[in-house]
Amino acid sequence: MLFLFWGGNVYGQDLTGKSVGSVGVSGLERVSEQVVRAKIEVQPGQAYNPRAVARDIRRLFELGHFTQIKADAKLENDQVALTYLVEEKRVIDEIKIVGNKKLKARKLRTALKMREGESFMADIYEEERAALLKLYESKGYANASVNVIVEKVGPARVRLTYEIQEGRKARIRHIEFTGNQSVKTRKLRKIMKTHRGYWFIGGKFEEEKFETDLKNILDEYGNRGHLEADVPRTDVEYVKDGKNMRITVHLSEGPVYHVESLGIANNEVYDNDELSKLIEVHAGDVHNKGQVLKDGEQVSKGYQDSGYVNALDTPQVTLDREKKTTHIVHDLAEGDLKYIREIRITGNEITKDEIVRREMMIRPGDRYDGEMIKESERRLQSTQYFDEQRLTLADIEDNDLYNDLVVDVKEGKTGSFNFGGGYNTEEGIGGYTELRLNNFDITNPPKFYGGGQDFSLKLNIGQVHNNYSLSFTDPEFLGYPLGFGADIFNDSYKVKSGLDYRENELGGQVRFRKQLTPYVSAHASLRISQDSIDGVEDSIFLHPDLRDQMKDTLTISTTWQLERNTLDNPRDPASGSRHLLSTELAGLGDNNFWKVEHDSTWYRSFGEKKKWVLSFRMREGMVTPFLDSKSVPLQYRLFAGGSSTVRGYGFRDIGPKAREYVWWNRNLWGSKFDMGGNLRGITNLEMKYKVTKAFRLYAFFDAGGVWEYFSDIAPGDIKCSVGVGLGVDVPRLGPIRIDYGFALNPDKDQGSGHLHLMTGFRF
């Protein structure tokens, strides 16, 4: 706002006190004169007072209609003639965009700040132009131009016209580097997110992305000791009438710096030797700029995980430009040791506080432990009760020793009803429906939520597999740190052979779980089932293993398991391991057997972004009958072959086989069926590449064998395969996994490979 006030005197004559003859307003176009005069204090006949005029100007500005107000006072016929000269704010009557063909006007308007009906602001011309040019640049039109034309179309009204010359869309065809010697051009191109285009794909130029690329290149040089590396200039050349771009990045690498000395300052809690173990860049090494910062973060984390929450390591680097060396000092601010006073839980409107507290691996009164905080967050995530969880420390007024741990959660859906269908190469087409309440509370009718229990009712009907089950699980039974669960099931599986018989299991079980350490848990269960096969007519020639299960038999078994689980993510692990050792003892019923199984899987990720994940799995098992039982029921034997064991072979296709019918203990006729075995060993080696958050590529090697007796074991019986696969994880629906395994040493009737397709869609 510009205040220009004069009239206090004319030709050196003071007008103060003289009578005001007239009061006028000049410059009004859109604003009513009555609105203006209602705000004017000075009136004809009054004594002229400069302060009253100043107050009038202030009140007129407060109306919000003017950009400039002046007061002009003259002496006429011994009276003061006062005129207020105003300049009204101009309103945008219309915004026109012309010349645009490649981008729609609706898209261009989103980049503009000025709108029709709002005040015209001449000082943001350049800002508006830059916004449109940036938008065109992001779409590949780096040589577009924009001209802004302002036209008066009425009283204090203007029309804005954005005149655009789009030019030709330019794609990057070449990116060259000069001056690089220690870093290969191939490496530099890999660092950049700006890439050349191929045919009609890629090649868009974006200024912000390009600037980030240059910073990343200098960071790479800094990691190699080139602390004075620079990009003096970049050249952008348009060729073929602006259709193509050629970018040249000029580099000045500078000398390589080495670390002459390394020091640690202001450390009292831990000595230099202990802290040096956390540091990777030492005296004599090439100065790695990025690693020095990571070293500082690692030392800070070491302190913080040990309870020194506010500890901070700030690496101080001094350059000796003559000697081309550096001096690094890790300057520590250790802070005070912190303890947890109390755990405060927020954001949980449905879930009870105690359900959140039981997942905490740290308790009030404990010293702050960063690893336990991280494990607590992982445990909360694995419950799947919450969409988000965040653990932070809150200061306590006048208390430097204790902090409160605040657990802030955002609750997700507490229940779901899913139905749909799926297909896999082993079970065929199947229909699926499930009612699941994953935050169930049996003591809270009629809402039944918030208690951290799990309830599910599942029905699966398919060409091969039918399953009906009802399950309930309480991680802390009756408030005690002991998990309890119960299941009722009816399971039927169609075995593909000449007879196409079905294996049936009907029964229930109770389960118990005890968490021994943050990563180790013990499991126990009691299972009762009625087992049988059907679809087979009884015959004296029927194989004994089939004929023995023509009648219903009762199996009562107990299973004991010990599990150690350090996986970072139960759904898509990238690091950690899972080990399971179990034994099952069946007795008291019609079937008596003993089974021992071991299952271990390790995961390790590679690369800076950890997109490569290598996994190795080993499984061994043994089952044997005892007492008056001469054989193990087919449902409890060990099998191999198929998508979950050895890919490239058919389901259950590895191991002992027998004819369905016999004569005097000799196999004479009938199709072969898979008998399973009493001994099994399986190994899986798999490499996974995370293309995107939901898309995966796989390569694998599988090997496994099944035998009836120890004396049967022979290396030649171990079947091997290699293969590739891809997977897509559809949120809230489920995963799709397609693998193709190539059998390396199949038998004549096993084929040379198999496609394995598994879907888990839920609608």
pLDDT at 508 over 90: yes
Domain 258-333 has CATH 3.40.190.10: no
For residue 34, what pLDDT band results from cuts at 50, 70 and 90?
A: confident
pLDDT in tens, 705-759: 999 988 889 888 999 999 999 998 776 556 788 899 999 999 888 888 888 877 6
As a whole number of angstroms, the distance between CA 114 and CA 120 comes to 7
Q: Where are the alpha helices (DSSP H) in 613-666?
A: none
Weakest mean pLDDT among 316-320, 415-419, 601-605, 619-623? 415-419
Pairwise CA distance, residues 135 & 119, whole Å? 24
Pairing of β 483-494 and β 502-515: antiparallel
The two tokens of residue 49 are 């007072």
Tokens (6 digits) for 400:
């430097």
pLDDT (average), residues 569-585: 92
d(CA 91, CA 155): 9
* 131 has a pLDDT exceeding 80: yes
Average pLDDT of the chain to the nearest whole number: 86
Q: Does the pLDDT of residue 6 top 50, yes or no?
A: no
Percent of the chain with pLDDT over 70: 93
How many other CB atoms are there within 10 angstroms of residue 42's CB atom?
A: 20
What's the distance, CA 205 to chain centroid? 27
Architecture of the domain made up of 91-165: Roll (3.10)
CA distance 621 to 679: 6
The DSSP call for residue 89 is P
Whether 130 shows a pLDDT value over 90: the answer reads no
- For the record, the structure tokens of 312 come out as 């901070």
Nearest residue to 641 (alpha-carbon basis) of 631, 628, 650: 650
Strand, coil or helix: 372: helix
**pLDDT over 50 (residue 761):** no
Query: 112 pLDDT exceeds 60?
Result: yes
pLDDT in tens, 342-391: 999 999 888 888 889 988 989 999 999 888 898 899 888 888 888 889 99
Q: How confident is the model at residue 427 (pLDDT cuts 50, 70, 90)?
A: low
420 band by pLDDT with thresholds 50, 70 and 90: low
For domain 339-411, say whether CATH 3.90.1640.10 is its number: no
51: buried, middle or exposed (CB in 10 Å: 19+, 13-18, 0-12)? exposed
Q: What's the whole-model pTM score?
A: 0.64
User: What Å distances lie between residue 373 and 353, 515, 582, CA to CA?
Assistant: 17, 17, 30
pLDDT at 168 exceeding the cut of 70: yes
Asked if the model's pLDDT at residue 538 lies above 80, the reply is no
Between 228 and 537, whose confidence is greater?
Answer: 228
pLDDT tens for each residue of 660-694: 777 655 555 667 778 889 999 999 999 999 998 88
Does residue 581 register a pLDDT over 70?
Answer: yes
Q: How far apart (Å, rounded) are the C-alpha atoms in residues 727 and 758?
A: 9
Cβ proximity of 512 and 482 under 8 Å: yes
Alpha carbon dihedral 419, 425, 426, 431, in 10-degree steps, equals 20
Query: CA 108 to CA 96: how far, in whole Å?
Result: 11
Q: How is domain 171-252 classified at the CATH fold level?
A: Ubiquitin-like (UB roll) (3.10.20)
In contact, 482 and 511? CB cutoff 8 Å: no
Query: CA 267 to CA 347: how far, in whole Å?
Result: 39
Cβ(661)–Cβ(644) below 8 Å: no
Q: How confident is the model at residue 105 (pLDDT cuts 50, 70, 90)?
A: confident
Query: Average pLDDT for residues 464-475, to the nearest whole number?
Result: 90
pLDDT for res 177: 95
Residues 6+ apart with CB under 8 A from 558: 524, 525, 526, 527, 584, 585
- CATH architecture, domain 497-759: Beta Barrel (2.40)
pLDDT of residue 239 exceeding 80, the answer is no
How far, in Å, CA of 418 to CA of 424, rounded?
19
Predicted local distance difference test score (pLDDT) of residue 417: 66
pLDDT above 50 (res 8): no
Write out the E strands in 7-144: 9-10, 13-14, 20-26, 66-76, 79-88, 91-98
Q: What is the mean pLDDT of residues 652-658?
A: 88
**Higher pLDDT pick, 422 / 3:** 422
Does the domain spanning 2-88 belong to CATH 2.40.340.10? no
Q: Which is nearest to 721 in space by CA: 740, 737, 693? A: 740
Q: Where is pLDDT greater, at 135 or 457?
A: 457
Of 377 and 546, more confident: 377
For residue 573, pLDDT beyond 60: yes
Instruction: Among 16-25, 127-136, 431-440, 619-628, name the one with the lowest average pLDDT.
Output: 431-440
Domain edges within the chain: 2-88, 91-165, 171-252, 258-333, 339-411, 413-494, 497-759
Q: What local confidence, expressed as pLDDT, does residue 298 receive? A: 94
pLDDT tens, 249-296? 999 999 999 999 999 999 999 999 999 999 999 999 999 999 999 999
* Residue with more model confidence, 196 or 524: 524
Q: Is the pLDDT of residue 544 over 90?
A: no
- pLDDT tier at 103, thresholds 50, 70, 90: confident
Percent of the chain with pLDDT over 90: 42
